[in-house]
Structure 1
Amino acid sequence: MGSIATYLVLSLPQSTNAHEWLAQELVGGKSPLYKIKLPDFQSGTLDSLVQESDELVKLDQQLSSSVAKVIDILATVTESDSSSRIVNSKPATDFIQNFTWNTTKYRLDKPINQLVKLISDEALALDNDVRVSYQSYQTAKSNFLAADRKKNGDLSIKSLHEIVRPEQFVLDSEHLTTILIAVPKSLTSDFDNSYETLTQFVIPRSATVIATDSEFSLYTVTLFKKYQSEFIAAAREHKWHPRNDFVYSEETLNNLRKEFDLTKATESKAKNDLIRLAKTAYSDIFASWLHIKAVRVYVESVLRYGLPPQFDYYFIKFEGANAKNLSKAKKELIDKFGFLGGDGFSSTSNLHEYASLVDTEYEPFVLYEIDVV
């Protein structure tokens, strides 16, 4: 699944005065730049931030996967395009570019660890709801397809409730029974010439064709009940297909007629419920993901640059033909701001004492990606 757009999430100390260079010089000014204002959070101790950093890495990845999974489900169920990417009634890209912290839902008088738990619990509960709903839909779809095969398969497997009529059967007889045989068209001559002699007490000339399709002719044959099992076994040896799964019963026929309609209605309802839930979940999980990303950027910035928090936050957009500039942009950023990591930024000797504990793939500034898939 390709990305609609990719954003670099960048945090730099305000002392770098980076805005003009990012807007005009980075990849020739081809990538739109969005400056984002994040609130000041209740930071707590640096030790607590290091612990929270580990948790935020996991949650960031988890919610990213959740968003992608919801889109995958919507694409599977609706064959939809990017029109599904709606967050808070606006395109996901607009939500990113105009991101503001939702202070109504996530009050800033709470410490960071409580905010993270509140945001993630809501999002992961929704993720689970979507998975359960998707499984229910898959079950309903499987049941409907089975019913559809019964209705629309060939005469050797399909349900016969729309084909047979009571007058085609010997009913309420103590000794006689009527059975159905689906005979491949290439074997109808063999059937006509031999069915009467497969067992004793087959009623002569009782075979009647009651339906045909492109592959089979469906016959009724009347014989004594005592020899039914023997006849069926012999028919299979001739490579005919006895439909001994079918017994004429008005109650059974009525139930079979209802089965298709019921499974179709159940599948349709499960599908509509899933689509509604998945679209809501995409919006809410995506919004939660952006809030987790915002907290992560803040925490990492404190651990990189120290307190008080004096950082600028940016989203840099790459899409369409400009997407190929993503790697180039990262290189230019490192060339421009690598000094933040000290002499040879791959060494952590000149960094804050906690920096080496933060990211396994270390860069001289806070930099992440957001893929809108």
Structure 2
Amino acid sequence: MCLLHVQMALSDTLTKHDHAIEQVVDRLLRQYRDLSKKPDIVPLVEFVELPKYLHNFEWDEAKFSSGDTLEEIESAVMELVARTEDDLKIRLNDYTTTKQAVAGIERRNQGNLMTKSLVGIVKEDEYLETEHMRTVFIVVPSYNLDEFLSSYESLAAMVIPRSAKVLTSDSDYALVSVTLFKKCEEEFKVACRERRFTVRDFKFKADDIQASEEEYARLRTELEDQHVNFVKWCETIFGEAVIAQMHLKAVRSFVESVLRYGLPVNFEVAMILPQAKAESRLRAALQEMYGHLGGNWV
């Protein structure tokens, strides 16, 4: 009776853990396919394709000793599952963080003049800052450029006359520099906002261009390295997870069979791989053939 209780308790945990490792295997496969940009690819297991590994499955004594108890084998599998989940979370977080950093730089460099970085656009000789004066940069809608150029000198009391220069433009906006006295800068910004002209918050620093380029290059290299390593890791760990999954399924099959058919052991375990869309017909056929053995198990 004690043995029966142990087997029933083990059956419950095996069912739960079998589902847990199945989820991990699925996550690894989805991640591998996403990184590889190949929606149908499946990594090799033990250097062979997955169906072949499953077809030729044999218990691996080197990984899971048959001398261990069923509980010890189950525990070893779940340790692998927990370790894999933690590693996957860390690697995915690091990769996502770097990818977002690269995308952020690219957005700043590729957006329109309202949002893109002005580093590399504004040249050193186009910027002035002294104790009393400063150059400010205004993004003006293209259709309002003439209006701005004819009125900017009157937007604040101490704007330098004829200081406006159109530095660049895109399909929607023009970037204009204006030099003014610092004491009227806030007044000028308020007047611009009222007229829907946008003053960009920018100060020229000679080192910014090189620093920005170096940071982008560093992040791109880091992202490429992380991508390569992440793909290799998913490929390797997927195989290890499938191997552990199959050993856990073997243990579960043994426990379920003992509970169903009793001792001594007198049963065979088989794996059937149905063709696409044939699973329901296969289940019906198996139920018809073996349903008399008891239980709605198919």
> TM-score of the superposition, structure 1-length normalised?
0.76
Listed as ranges, the matches of 1:132-281 within 5 Å are 132-171=90-129, 173-244=130-201, 246-281=202-237
Partner of 1:33: none
Superposed CA deviations along residues 148-175 of structure 1, whole A, max 9, x for unmatched, are 111111111111222121111124x221
Paired AA for residue 159 in structure 1:
S
Report the Cα distance in structure 2 between the residues aligned to 1:130 and 1:187, rounded to whole angstroms: 52
Instruction: Report the Cα offset of residue 328 of structure 1.
Output: 1.3
CA contact (8 A) 2:33 2:41 kept: no
Report the Cα distance in structure 1 between the residues aligned to 2:248 and 2:205, rounded to whole angstroms: 61
Report the Cα distance in structure 1 between the residues aligned to 2:39 and 2:112, rounded to whole angstroms: 36
CA contact (8 A) 1:155 1:218 kept: yes
Q: Alignment partner for residue 284 of structure 2, among 331, 347, 351?
A: 331
Paired AA for residue 252 in structure 1:
D
CA contact (8 A) 2:33 2:40 kept: no
Report the Cα distance in structure 1 between the residues aligned to 2:185 and 2:3, rounded to whole angstroms: 84
Report the Cα distance in structure 2 between the residues aligned to 1:95 and 1:257, rounded to whole angstroms: 48
CA RMSD of aligned residues (A): 1.6
Query: Are residue 315 (structure 1) and residue 271 (structure 2) matched?
Result: yes
CA contact (8 A) 1:130 1:277 kept: no
Uncovered stretches (5+) of structure 2, i.e. residues with no partner:
none
Q: Secondary structure at 2:273's aligned position in 1? A: strand
Report the Cα distance in structure 2 between the residues aligned to 1:83 and 1:263, rounded to whole angstroms: 28
Aligned positions, number: 297
Report the Cα distance in structure 2 between the residues aligned to 1:260 and 1:196, rounded to whole angstroms: 38
Paired AA for residue 331 in structure 1:
A
CA contact (8 A) 2:42 2:50 kept: no
Listed as ranges, the matches of 1:342-357 within 5 Å are 345=295
Instruction: Report the Cα offset of residue 298 of structure 1.
Output: 0.8
Q: Secondary structure at 2:176's aligned position in 1? A: strand
Partner of 2:9: 51
Instruction: Report the Cα offset of residue 121 of structure 1.
Output: 0.7
Q: Secondary structure at 2:203's aligned position in 1? A: coil
Partner of 1:117: 75
Superposed CA deviations along residues 170-211 of structure 1, whole A, max 9, x for unmatched, are 24x221110111112122122112111110111111110111
Instruction: Report the Cα offset of residue 289 of structure 1.
Output: 0.9
Partner of 2:258: 302
Stretch moving more, 259-268 or 185-194:
259-268
Superposed CA deviations along residues 2-25 of structure 1, whole A, max 9, x for unmatched, are xxxxxxxxxxxxxxxxxxxxxxxx
Superposed CA deviations along residues 110-146 of structure 1, whole A, max 9, x for unmatched, are 1100011012211321122112111111111111111
Report the Cα distance in structure 2 between the residues aligned to 1:299 and 1:227, rounded to whole angstroms: 83
Instruction: Report the Cα offset of residue 76 of structure 1.
Output: 2.4
Paired AA for residue 8 in structure 2:
V
Paired AA for residue 305 in structure 1:
Y
Q: Alignment partner for residue 34 of structure 2, among 76, 92, 102?
A: 76
Superposed CA deviations along residues 66-96 of structure 1, whole A, max 9, x for unmatched, are 1111122223222223333321211111111
Paired AA for residue 132 in structure 2:
H
Paired AA for residue 284 in structure 2:
K
Larger RCO: 1 or 2 (CA < 8 Å, sep 6+): 1
CA contact (8 A) 1:143 1:263 kept: yes
CA contact (8 A) 1:126 1:281 kept: yes
Report the Cα distance in structure 2 between the residues aligned to 1:60 and 1:192, rounded to whole angstroms: 71
Report the Cα distance in structure 1 between the residues aligned to 2:196 and 2:48, rounded to whole angstroms: 62
CA contact (8 A) 2:141 2:172 kept: yes
Report the Cα distance in structure 2 between the residues aligned to 1:134 and 1:71, rounded to whole angstroms: 14
Higher helix share: 2
Q: Secondary structure at 1:109's aligned position in 2? A: coil
